[in-house]
Amino acid sequence: MRSGGKGTLRKRVLWVMGLVALALVVAACAPHASQDTLKPQGPYAREIKSLFIPVLWVAAAVFLIVEGGIVWIIVKYRHRKGRDRMPAQTHGNTRLEIGWTIAPALVLAVVMVPTVATIWDLASKPPSNAINVTVTGRQWWWKFEYTDPDMKTAAGGQIVTANEMVIPTGRTVYLTVTADSDPGAHTTDGLPGFAVIHSFWVPELAGKQDAIPTRENHILMQADHPGIYHGQCAEFCGLSHGIMRVQVRAVTPQEFDAWVANQKLDALTPQPGTLAATGMQDFTGGQCIVCHAIAGIPNATADAGPNLTHFASRGCFAGCLLDNQNADDIRRWLEDPAAVKPGAKMPNYHLSPEQIDALVAYLMSLK
Ligand code: CUA
Protein backbone atom coordinates (compact mmCIF):
# COMPACT_ATOMS: atom_id res chain seq x y z
CA MET A 1 0.00 0.00 0.00
CA ARG A 2 1.22 3.50 -0.78
CA SER A 3 2.02 5.70 2.17
CA GLY A 4 -0.69 8.19 1.10
CA GLY A 5 -3.30 5.40 1.31
CA LYS A 6 -2.08 4.45 4.76
CA GLY A 7 -2.49 8.05 5.88
CA THR A 8 -6.14 8.27 4.73
CA LEU A 9 -6.90 4.91 6.29
CA ARG A 10 -5.47 6.06 9.60
CA LYS A 11 -7.48 9.27 9.38
CA ARG A 12 -10.65 7.31 8.69
CA VAL A 13 -10.04 4.97 11.63
CA LEU A 14 -9.48 7.99 13.89
CA TRP A 15 -12.70 9.57 12.63
CA VAL A 16 -14.72 6.40 13.24
CA MET A 17 -13.21 5.97 16.70
CA GLY A 18 -13.95 9.59 17.51
CA LEU A 19 -17.57 9.24 16.38
CA VAL A 20 -18.02 6.02 18.38
CA ALA A 21 -16.60 7.74 21.47
CA LEU A 22 -18.93 10.71 20.92
CA ALA A 23 -21.92 8.37 20.50
CA LEU A 24 -21.05 6.67 23.79
CA VAL A 25 -20.76 9.99 25.60
CA VAL A 26 -24.07 11.21 24.16
CA ALA A 27 -25.74 7.89 25.05
CA ALA A 28 -24.74 8.46 28.66
CA CYS A 29 -26.65 11.75 28.79
CA ALA A 30 -30.20 11.59 30.13
CA PRO A 31 -31.32 14.56 32.22
CA HIS A 32 -34.34 12.73 33.68
CA ALA A 33 -32.96 9.19 33.90
CA SER A 34 -35.00 7.27 36.42
CA GLN A 35 -32.41 4.59 37.19
CA ASP A 36 -29.57 6.69 38.50
CA THR A 37 -27.29 5.43 41.28
CA LEU A 38 -25.84 8.93 41.48
CA LYS A 39 -29.21 10.40 42.46
CA PRO A 40 -30.00 8.30 45.54
CA GLN A 41 -33.50 8.74 46.99
CA GLY A 42 -33.05 6.89 50.25
CA PRO A 43 -30.46 6.31 53.00
CA TYR A 44 -29.16 2.94 51.75
CA ALA A 45 -28.71 4.11 48.19
CA ARG A 46 -27.07 7.28 49.56
CA GLU A 47 -24.56 5.20 51.49
CA ILE A 48 -23.53 3.46 48.28
CA LYS A 49 -23.04 6.79 46.53
CA SER A 50 -20.96 8.20 49.37
CA LEU A 51 -18.60 5.25 48.99
CA PHE A 52 -18.61 5.35 45.20
CA ILE A 53 -17.58 9.00 44.79
CA PRO A 54 -14.34 8.96 46.89
CA VAL A 55 -13.30 5.58 45.47
CA LEU A 56 -13.92 6.94 41.97
CA TRP A 57 -11.53 9.86 42.63
CA VAL A 58 -8.83 7.52 43.96
CA ALA A 59 -9.28 5.30 40.89
CA ALA A 60 -9.17 8.35 38.60
CA ALA A 61 -5.89 9.52 40.18
CA VAL A 62 -4.34 6.04 39.77
CA PHE A 63 -5.56 5.93 36.16
CA LEU A 64 -4.08 9.32 35.33
CA ILE A 65 -0.71 8.52 36.93
CA VAL A 66 -0.36 5.09 35.28
CA GLU A 67 -1.76 5.95 31.84
CA GLY A 68 -0.02 9.33 31.89
CA GLY A 69 3.29 7.57 32.58
CA ILE A 70 2.73 5.16 29.70
CA VAL A 71 1.85 7.95 27.26
CA TRP A 72 4.80 10.05 28.43
CA ILE A 73 7.25 7.16 27.87
CA ILE A 74 5.74 6.30 24.48
CA VAL A 75 6.14 9.88 23.31
CA LYS A 76 9.56 10.44 24.85
CA TYR A 77 11.16 7.27 23.47
CA ARG A 78 9.30 7.05 20.16
CA HIS A 79 11.28 6.28 17.04
CA ARG A 80 12.60 9.39 15.35
CA LYS A 81 14.07 9.69 11.87
CA GLY A 82 17.83 9.58 11.93
CA ARG A 83 18.08 8.33 15.48
CA ASP A 84 18.59 4.56 15.43
CA ARG A 85 20.24 4.34 18.83
CA MET A 86 18.27 2.35 21.45
CA PRO A 87 17.64 4.17 24.73
CA ALA A 88 19.57 2.85 27.75
CA GLN A 89 18.24 -0.63 28.70
CA THR A 90 17.79 -1.29 32.40
CA HIS A 91 17.11 -4.61 34.07
CA GLY A 92 16.12 -4.78 37.70
CA ASN A 93 15.76 -1.84 40.06
CA THR A 94 15.06 -3.04 43.59
CA ARG A 95 14.04 0.31 44.99
CA LEU A 96 11.59 0.98 42.12
CA GLU A 97 10.11 -2.52 42.30
CA ILE A 98 9.53 -2.34 46.06
CA GLY A 99 8.03 1.11 45.53
CA TRP A 100 5.46 0.05 42.95
CA THR A 101 4.52 -2.96 45.06
CA ILE A 102 3.98 -1.00 48.25
CA ALA A 103 2.22 2.00 46.69
CA PRO A 104 -0.78 0.03 45.28
CA ALA A 105 -1.03 -1.96 48.54
CA LEU A 106 -1.25 1.31 50.47
CA VAL A 107 -3.89 2.71 48.08
CA LEU A 108 -5.97 -0.48 48.43
CA ALA A 109 -5.60 -0.45 52.22
CA VAL A 110 -6.90 3.12 52.35
CA VAL A 111 -9.84 2.35 50.03
CA MET A 112 -10.62 -0.81 52.01
CA VAL A 113 -11.52 1.05 55.21
CA PRO A 114 -14.69 2.82 53.99
CA THR A 115 -15.53 -0.11 51.67
CA VAL A 116 -15.61 -2.71 54.44
CA ALA A 117 -17.47 -0.33 56.74
CA THR A 118 -20.17 0.18 54.08
CA ILE A 119 -20.44 -3.55 53.37
CA TRP A 120 -20.95 -4.27 57.07
CA ASP A 121 -23.48 -1.50 57.33
CA LEU A 122 -25.54 -2.62 54.35
CA ALA A 123 -25.38 -6.27 55.42
CA SER A 124 -26.61 -5.51 58.94
CA LYS A 125 -29.96 -6.64 60.29
CA PRO A 126 -32.85 -4.27 59.61
CA PRO A 127 -34.49 -2.15 62.33
CA SER A 128 -37.31 -3.93 64.17
CA ASN A 129 -40.04 -1.91 62.45
CA ALA A 130 -38.86 -2.93 58.97
CA ILE A 131 -41.31 -4.38 56.47
CA ASN A 132 -40.34 -7.83 55.18
CA VAL A 133 -40.89 -8.58 51.53
CA THR A 134 -39.76 -11.65 49.61
CA VAL A 135 -38.86 -10.79 46.03
CA THR A 136 -38.89 -13.67 43.56
CA GLY A 137 -37.48 -13.34 40.06
CA ARG A 138 -39.61 -15.22 37.55
CA GLN A 139 -39.32 -15.39 33.78
CA TRP A 140 -39.79 -12.39 33.22
CA TRP A 141 -41.47 -10.54 36.02
CA TRP A 142 -41.08 -9.94 39.73
CA LYS A 143 -43.27 -11.37 42.46
CA PHE A 144 -43.52 -9.59 45.83
CA GLU A 145 -44.81 -11.32 48.93
CA TYR A 146 -45.32 -9.28 52.09
CA THR A 147 -44.40 -11.87 54.72
CA ASP A 148 -45.09 -10.05 58.02
CA PRO A 149 -47.85 -11.41 60.30
CA ASP A 150 -49.87 -8.19 59.88
CA MET A 151 -49.87 -8.67 56.09
CA LYS A 152 -52.24 -11.65 56.13
CA THR A 153 -55.18 -11.46 53.77
CA ALA A 154 -58.83 -12.25 54.39
CA ALA A 155 -58.35 -15.39 52.28
CA GLY A 156 -55.65 -16.60 54.67
CA GLY A 157 -52.55 -15.99 52.55
CA GLN A 158 -50.06 -13.12 52.50
CA ILE A 159 -50.34 -9.98 50.39
CA VAL A 160 -48.83 -10.78 47.00
CA THR A 161 -48.26 -8.42 44.09
CA ALA A 162 -46.42 -8.53 40.81
CA ASN A 163 -44.18 -6.11 38.90
CA GLU A 164 -44.97 -3.16 41.17
CA MET A 165 -43.92 -3.10 44.83
CA VAL A 166 -45.57 -0.55 47.13
CA ILE A 167 -43.59 0.71 50.14
CA PRO A 168 -44.10 3.46 52.72
CA THR A 169 -41.63 6.38 52.80
CA GLY A 170 -39.21 6.71 55.70
CA ARG A 171 -39.34 3.06 56.71
CA THR A 172 -36.84 0.29 55.99
CA VAL A 173 -37.95 -2.53 53.73
CA TYR A 174 -35.98 -5.73 54.26
CA LEU A 175 -35.99 -7.69 51.02
CA THR A 176 -35.36 -11.41 50.79
CA VAL A 177 -34.33 -11.89 47.19
CA THR A 178 -34.65 -15.26 45.49
CA ALA A 179 -35.63 -16.78 42.15
CA ASP A 180 -38.07 -19.35 40.91
CA SER A 181 -36.53 -22.65 41.97
CA ASP A 182 -38.71 -25.31 40.47
CA PRO A 183 -37.00 -26.53 37.30
CA GLY A 184 -39.51 -27.77 34.81
CA ALA A 185 -42.45 -26.32 36.66
CA HIS A 186 -45.03 -24.23 34.83
CA THR A 187 -43.46 -24.82 31.44
CA THR A 188 -46.10 -24.69 28.80
CA ASP A 189 -43.84 -24.71 25.78
CA GLY A 190 -41.56 -27.69 26.40
CA LEU A 191 -38.59 -25.43 27.10
CA PRO A 192 -36.43 -25.98 30.20
CA GLY A 193 -37.80 -24.74 33.51
CA PHE A 194 -37.77 -21.28 34.99
CA ALA A 195 -34.96 -21.84 37.49
CA VAL A 196 -32.55 -19.16 36.31
CA ILE A 197 -30.63 -16.38 38.04
CA HIS A 198 -31.96 -12.83 37.99
CA SER A 199 -30.72 -9.70 39.73
CA PHE A 200 -32.94 -7.18 41.49
CA TRP A 201 -31.92 -3.57 41.14
CA VAL A 202 -33.75 -0.33 41.83
CA PRO A 203 -30.73 2.01 41.70
CA GLU A 204 -32.24 5.07 43.40
CA LEU A 205 -33.39 3.13 46.47
CA ALA A 206 -30.94 0.28 47.10
CA GLY A 207 -27.98 -1.69 45.87
CA LYS A 208 -28.13 -4.60 43.46
CA GLN A 209 -28.81 -8.12 44.65
CA ASP A 210 -28.64 -11.46 42.84
CA ALA A 211 -31.82 -13.52 42.78
CA ILE A 212 -30.71 -17.16 42.81
CA PRO A 213 -32.96 -20.25 42.79
CA THR A 214 -33.05 -22.05 46.19
CA ARG A 215 -31.03 -19.28 47.84
CA GLU A 216 -32.04 -16.25 49.87
CA ASN A 217 -30.10 -13.01 49.63
CA HIS A 218 -31.01 -9.87 51.51
CA ILE A 219 -30.97 -6.19 50.79
CA LEU A 220 -32.14 -3.07 52.60
CA MET A 221 -34.31 -0.51 50.84
CA GLN A 222 -35.84 2.78 51.83
CA ALA A 223 -37.34 5.80 50.08
CA ASP A 224 -37.24 9.38 51.39
CA HIS A 225 -40.11 10.72 49.30
CA PRO A 226 -43.24 9.42 47.59
CA GLY A 227 -42.72 8.59 43.94
CA ILE A 228 -42.21 5.91 41.33
CA TYR A 229 -38.74 4.38 41.24
CA HIS A 230 -37.79 2.23 38.30
CA GLY A 231 -35.56 -0.79 38.21
CA GLN A 232 -34.56 -3.60 35.95
CA CYS A 233 -33.30 -7.16 36.07
CA ALA A 234 -29.52 -6.92 36.03
CA GLU A 235 -28.54 -10.52 35.29
CA PHE A 236 -29.06 -12.20 31.94
CA CYS A 237 -31.99 -14.57 32.44
CA GLY A 238 -33.25 -15.48 28.99
CA LEU A 239 -35.08 -14.05 26.03
CA SER A 240 -36.90 -11.14 27.72
CA HIS A 241 -34.19 -10.23 30.23
CA GLY A 242 -33.80 -6.79 28.66
CA ILE A 243 -37.47 -5.95 29.32
CA MET A 244 -37.76 -7.48 32.80
CA ARG A 245 -38.52 -4.21 34.50
CA VAL A 246 -39.88 -3.40 37.92
CA GLN A 247 -41.22 -0.35 39.68
CA VAL A 248 -41.33 0.63 43.33
CA ARG A 249 -44.15 2.98 44.30
CA ALA A 250 -43.29 4.80 47.51
CA VAL A 251 -46.29 6.33 49.27
CA THR A 252 -46.86 8.14 52.58
CA PRO A 253 -47.36 5.88 55.63
CA GLN A 254 -51.11 6.75 55.65
CA GLU A 255 -51.47 5.85 51.99
CA PHE A 256 -49.54 2.65 52.63
CA ASP A 257 -51.94 1.63 55.41
CA ALA A 258 -54.87 2.21 53.06
CA TRP A 259 -53.13 0.19 50.35
CA VAL A 260 -52.48 -2.69 52.77
CA ALA A 261 -56.11 -2.67 53.94
CA ASN A 262 -57.31 -2.93 50.35
CA GLN A 263 -54.80 -5.64 49.38
CA LYS A 264 -56.03 -7.79 52.26
CA LEU A 265 -59.55 -7.90 50.83
CA ASP A 266 -60.82 -10.59 48.49
CA ALA A 267 -61.24 -9.56 44.87
CA LEU A 268 -64.36 -7.61 43.97
CA THR A 269 -67.11 -9.63 42.32
CA PRO A 270 -68.64 -7.81 39.35
CA GLN A 271 -72.36 -7.02 39.22
CA PRO A 272 -74.28 -9.82 37.48
CA GLY A 273 -75.11 -9.07 33.86
CA THR A 274 -72.13 -6.75 33.29
CA LEU A 275 -69.35 -7.31 30.79
CA ALA A 276 -66.96 -7.78 33.73
CA ALA A 277 -69.17 -10.59 35.06
CA THR A 278 -68.87 -12.35 31.69
CA GLY A 279 -65.11 -11.83 31.95
CA MET A 280 -65.07 -13.46 35.36
CA GLN A 281 -66.89 -16.47 33.90
CA ASP A 282 -64.36 -16.64 31.06
CA PHE A 283 -61.58 -16.41 33.63
CA THR A 284 -62.80 -19.22 35.88
CA GLY A 285 -64.16 -21.40 33.07
CA GLY A 286 -61.15 -21.02 30.78
CA GLN A 287 -57.40 -21.35 30.98
CA CYS A 288 -56.65 -18.26 33.12
CA ILE A 289 -57.41 -20.03 36.38
CA VAL A 290 -54.81 -22.71 35.65
CA CYS A 291 -51.96 -20.23 36.29
CA HIS A 292 -53.39 -17.15 38.07
CA ALA A 293 -54.66 -16.69 41.61
CA ILE A 294 -57.56 -14.40 42.53
CA ALA A 295 -58.36 -14.31 46.25
CA GLY A 296 -61.99 -15.06 46.91
CA ILE A 297 -62.52 -17.31 43.91
CA PRO A 298 -62.44 -20.99 44.90
CA ASN A 299 -59.77 -22.93 42.97
CA ALA A 300 -58.10 -19.74 41.73
CA THR A 301 -54.95 -20.25 43.79
CA ALA A 302 -52.29 -21.13 41.20
CA ASP A 303 -48.89 -19.46 41.48
CA ALA A 304 -47.49 -20.01 37.98
CA GLY A 305 -48.39 -16.50 36.80
CA PRO A 306 -48.91 -13.23 38.67
CA ASN A 307 -51.59 -13.06 41.37
CA LEU A 308 -54.37 -10.93 39.87
CA THR A 309 -56.50 -10.24 42.97
CA HIS A 310 -55.93 -6.48 42.83
CA PHE A 311 -54.66 -6.25 39.26
CA ALA A 312 -56.23 -2.83 38.63
CA SER A 313 -54.60 -1.32 41.73
CA ARG A 314 -51.14 -1.73 40.19
CA GLY A 315 -49.25 0.64 37.94
CA CYS A 316 -47.73 -1.80 35.48
CA PHE A 317 -47.74 -5.39 34.28
CA ALA A 318 -45.99 -7.68 31.78
CA GLY A 319 -42.55 -6.88 33.13
CA CYS A 320 -43.73 -3.28 33.65
CA LEU A 321 -44.01 -2.76 29.90
CA LEU A 322 -47.75 -2.20 29.99
CA ASP A 323 -50.19 -0.10 32.01
CA ASN A 324 -52.90 -1.78 34.12
CA GLN A 325 -55.18 1.23 33.68
CA ASN A 326 -55.02 1.08 29.89
CA ALA A 327 -57.60 -1.20 28.23
CA ASP A 328 -55.64 -1.26 24.98
CA ASP A 329 -52.53 -2.44 26.81
CA ILE A 330 -54.43 -5.30 28.46
CA ARG A 331 -56.01 -6.19 25.11
CA ARG A 332 -52.60 -6.22 23.44
CA TRP A 333 -51.32 -8.62 26.07
CA LEU A 334 -54.27 -11.01 25.88
CA GLU A 335 -54.16 -11.05 22.07
CA ASP A 336 -50.59 -12.29 21.96
CA PRO A 337 -48.37 -12.23 25.07
CA ALA A 338 -45.23 -13.27 23.20
CA ALA A 339 -45.62 -10.34 20.80
CA VAL A 340 -45.21 -8.02 23.80
CA LYS A 341 -42.65 -10.03 25.74
CA PRO A 342 -40.69 -12.48 23.57
CA GLY A 343 -40.68 -15.95 25.08
CA ALA A 344 -43.52 -15.06 27.49
CA LYS A 345 -44.60 -18.15 29.42
CA MET A 346 -48.24 -17.19 29.04
CA PRO A 347 -49.42 -18.96 25.88
CA ASN A 348 -51.51 -17.32 23.20
CA TYR A 349 -54.96 -18.83 23.75
CA HIS A 350 -56.33 -17.27 20.57
CA LEU A 351 -59.13 -15.67 22.54
CA SER A 352 -62.02 -14.23 20.56
CA PRO A 353 -62.43 -10.42 20.50
CA GLU A 354 -65.56 -10.85 22.68
CA GLN A 355 -63.66 -12.90 25.26
CA ILE A 356 -60.86 -10.35 25.30
CA ASP A 357 -63.30 -7.43 25.81
CA ALA A 358 -64.93 -9.29 28.71
CA LEU A 359 -61.58 -10.22 30.31
CA VAL A 360 -60.34 -6.63 29.94
CA ALA A 361 -63.48 -5.36 31.71
CA TYR A 362 -63.04 -7.95 34.46
CA LEU A 363 -59.32 -7.26 35.00
CA MET A 364 -59.96 -3.51 35.12
CA SER A 365 -62.61 -4.07 37.81
CA LEU A 366 -60.11 -5.77 40.14
CA LYS A 367 -59.22 -2.63 42.11
CU1 CUA B 1 -34.40 -11.55 34.96
CU2 CUA B 1 -32.60 -10.81 33.64
What pLDDT was estimated at residue 207?
Answer: 93
> Is 165 within a domain?
no
Given the CA of residue 140, which atom of ligand 1 is nearest to it?
1
Report yes or no: 254 and 171 within 8 Å, Cβ to Cβ.
Answer: no
- Rounded-to-10 torsion of CA 80, 86, 92, 96: -30
CATH number at residue 314: 2.60.40.420
Examine residue 337 and state whether it is found in any structural domain, yes or no. yes
The number of the ligand 1 atom at minimal distance from the alpha carbon of 234 is 2
- The answer to whether residue 235 sits within a structural domain is no
Contact 233, 199 (CB under 8 A): yes
Instruction: Please tell me the distance between residue 103's alpha carbon and the centre of ligand 1 in angstroms.
Output: 40
For ligand 1, the distance from its centroid to the CA atom of residue 220, given in whole angstroms, is 20
Indicate whether 164 belongs to any domain: no
Residue 164's φ and ψ, nearest 5 degrees, are -115, 125
Q: Can you list the residues of the chain whose pLDDT is less than 70?
A: 1-6, 183-193
Output the ligand 1 site: residues, CB below 6 A: 137, 140, 198, 233, 235-237, 241, 244
Atom number in ligand 1 closest to CA 237: 2
Which pLDDT value is given to residue 23? 92
For residue 221, report the distance from its CA to the centre of ligand 1, in Å: 20
pLDDT tens digits for range 139-194: 899 999 999 999 999 999 999 999 999 999 999 999 999 998 875 555 555 555 67
Count of the separate structural domains present in the chain:
1
Provide CB contacts within 8 A for 209, sequence distance 6+. 175, 177, 199, 200, 201, 217, 218, 219
Which atom of ligand 1 lies nearest, measured to the CA of 244? 1
Residue 31 lies in a domain: no
The DSSP symbol for 237 reads -
Question: Residue 347 domain-assigned?
Answer: yes
Q: Does some domain include residue 198?
A: no
Distance (Å) from CA 271 to ligand 1 centroid = 39
Going by alpha carbons, the residue nearest to atom 1 of ligand 1 is 198
User: What pLDDT is stored for residue 1 in this prediction?
Assistant: 44
CA distance 162 to 100: 53
Instruction: Quote the pLDDT of residue 31.
Output: 74
* pTM for the model: 0.86
pLDDT, residue 34, reads 83
pLDDT in tens, 293-311: 999 998 899 888 999 999 9
In a domain, 340, yes or no: yes
pLDDT in tens, 78-108: 888 877 777 788 888 999 999 989 999 999 9
Structural domain containing residue 356: 275-365
Answer for the pair 37, 203: CB distance below 8 angstroms, yes or no. yes
Q: How far apart are CA 258 and CA 367, in angstroms?
A: 13
